[in-house]
A and B are shown apart, each in its own frame.
Chain A
Amino acid sequence: MSEVVIIDSGGANLASLQFALERLGARASVSSDTAQIAGAPRVILPGVGSARDAMQRLRALDLIERLPRLEQPVLGICLGMQLLYGLSAEGATPCLGVLPGTVERLASQPGLPVPHMGWNQLALTARDPLLEGVHSGDYVYFVHSYAAPVAEMTLATTRYGIDVTAVVRRGNFWGTQFHPERSGRTGAAILGNFLRVS
């Protein structure tokens, strides 16, 4: 049975992620224990709330230095993906720096309210084990006000006025801007793939 530790990043709503992993047959626990997180076979960094609060929380957990050095598969979801970048424009917050670049605020435009909340289509830009069985045009569920620009490490994009990073990877670190735990079958496929990547 796959085992995953979800970092208790302080935001509410970790239950839906935990339930989604359990539906896939994984054993998922929520932890704020630094040693348990560091020793987990797989780690998920979730995140709801502001970048500043989340980084303070990671600092309190003594994970600022340790998290970027983890060698097991790590998946950042939503804000958790944004925290993998160098900087977030949300409160000009320095983040973990696993990925280069700055997370910027989405520009509100007529017909494109911010936060961007809803189902949107993926466009795959690279092949990756995390996206096995996932296709361009598949819909996933987004809830965000900030987004990462499209760059070399982007695996999939989504268009909300502009193209932004929907899935990213650097080495053993993956990130999804959307919520796979709330994205129906496509999301379940991605979480299932994460349980298998190495």
Chain B
Amino acid sequence: MVGDILELAARYRDDGADELVFYDITASPEARSVDRAWVRRVARGLDIPFCVAGGIRSVADAEEVLNAGAEKVSINSPALADPDLIDRLSARFGAQCVVVGIDSQTVPGGHRAFELAGDPGRTRDSGRDTLQWVAEVQDRGAGEIVLNCMASDGVRRGYDIEQLRAVRAACRVPLVASGGAGSAVHFRDVFQQAGVDAALAASVFHTGAIVVHELKRELRDAGIEVRPWP
């Protein structure tokens, strides 16, 4: 499995991906944290930034992952369980290392941050309003927010532009859109209409439905600044 990941990482890098995010999404539900050994192996081969997420619950966990060569750590469920973790990580490593991921579900009247979204059987409403949580995590020292819109995640019908716009207005740190990418047009739309700093996708790249350098060419042709692909 790790071998596959390394190969995949190198392929995306060579194809022009700007950053890679490694999610061990079952880590929190399984009460463990991401394997440091493979973070190290990824770091050894990769010369672009990468972020690691999965069950990082303490400063010590984060330190090990960063020492293994990750650029940033992303925390999600552990931040909801222990919001002060964001403050501690930011004080220790600086805001630039601390990404807060938010799995946001649309509910009547707004959006809520959900916990344990990596396990469909256990995911639950944290009780926190997404916009309020976005404000709080920034005050606590988050340097970047990844907003995964659960209703659009996996559906490939486009990012949740409306929600991302609302979060953008409340977000003064870099905002990464996640959930819903199905075509190059969806990427174009989320940059142009929601003003996000980056767009993240997984399955469309893994299946080959979208090829990074072709996507970048389309974005460039649409007038969006992209780093050239090799």
Residues of B within 8 A of A19 (CB): 43-45, 69
Tally A residues with Cβ within 8 Å of B: 34
Residues of A within 8 A of B70 (CB): 13, 16
Q: Is the CB of A49 within 8 A of B94?
A: yes
| Bound Cα distance from A185 to B197, whole angstroms | 23
Say how far A53's CB is from chain B's closest CB, in angstroms.
9
Q: Is the CB of B63 within 8 A of A12?
A: yes
Residues of A within 8 A of B63 (CB): 12
Q: Is the CB of A118 within 8 A of B174?
A: yes
Q: Is the CB of B173 within 8 A of A115?
A: yes
Check: A182 CB closer than 8 A to any chain B CB: yes
Check: B95 CB closer than 8 A to any chain A CB: yes
Q: Which residue of B lies closest to A139 (CB)?
A: B227
Residue among B66, B69, B95, B97 facing the most chain A CB atoms (10 A cut-off): B69
Q: Is the CB of B94 within 8 A of A13?
A: no
Say how far A84's CB is from chain B's closest CB, in angstroms.
18
Knowing A181-B47, A182-B49, the reply to whether A113 touches B197 (Cβ < 8 A) is: yes
Q: Is the CB of B48 within 8 A of A182?
A: yes
Q: Which residue of A lies closest to B99 (CB)?
A: A117
Knowing A12-B63, A16-B71, A48-B93, the reply to whether A117 touches B48 (Cβ < 8 A) is: no
Check: B57 CB closer than 8 A to any chain A CB: no
Residues of B within 8 A of A16 (CB): 43, 69-71
Q: Is the CB of B173 within 8 A of A184?
A: no
B-binding segment of A60-68, A123-131, A140-148: A140-148
Residues of B within 8 A of A184 (CB): 13, 47-48, 230
Q: Is the CB of A13 within 8 A of B71?
A: yes
Residues of A within 8 A of B94 (CB): 11, 48-50, 145
Say how far A94's CB is from chain B's closest CB, in angstroms.
20
Check: B67 CB closer than 8 A to any chain A CB: yes
Say how far B42's CB is from chain A's closest CB, in angstroms.
10
| Bound Cα distance from A119 to B198, whole angstroms | 11
Q: Is the CB of A12 within 8 A of B47?
A: no
Check: A59 CB closer than 8 A to any chain B CB: no
List B34-80 residues whose CB lies under 8 Å from chain A.
40, 43-45, 47-49, 62-63, 66-71
**Hey, what's the 0/1 contact readout for B171-215 against A, CB within 8 Å counting as 1?**
111110000000000000000000101100000000000000000
Say how far B33's CB is from chain A's closest CB, in angstroms.
15
Other-chain residue from A20, A108, A182 in contact with B71 (beta carbon distance below 8 A): A182
Say how far A17's CB is from chain B's closest CB, in angstroms.
9
| Bound Cα distance from A48 to B67, whole angstroms | 12
Check: B101 CB closer than 8 A to any chain A CB: no
Check: B18 CB closer than 8 A to any chain A CB: yes
Q: Is the CB of A188 within 8 A of B47?
A: yes
| Bound Cα distance from A136 to B105, whole angstroms | 44
| Bound Cα distance from A11 to B69, whole angstroms | 12
Say how far A153's CB is from chain B's closest CB, in angstroms.
25
Residues of A within 8 A of B47 (CB): 20, 23, 181-185, 187-188
Q: Is the CB of B96 within 8 A of A145?
A: yes
List A14-66 residues whose CB lies under 8 Å from chain B.
14-16, 19-20, 22-23, 48-50
| Bound Cα distance from A108 to B138, whole angstroms | 14
Check: B158 CB closer than 8 A to any chain A CB: no
Residues of A within 8 A of B13 (CB): 184
Residues of A within 8 A of B18 (CB): 118-119
List B154-175 residues whose CB lies under 8 Å from chain A.
171-175
Residues of B within 8 A of A115 (CB): 95-96, 143, 173-174
Say how far A110's CB is from chain B's closest CB, in angstroms.
9
Check: B144 CB closer than 8 A to any chain A CB: yes
Check: B228 CB closer than 8 A to any chain A CB: yes
Known: A118-B174, A119-B227, A143-B49. 17 other contacts (CB 8 A): A12-B66, A13-B69, A13-B70, A15-B67, A19-B69, A48-B96, A49-B92, A114-B173, A117-B96, A118-B198, A179-B49, A182-B48, A183-B47, A183-B48, A184-B13, A184-B47, A187-B47
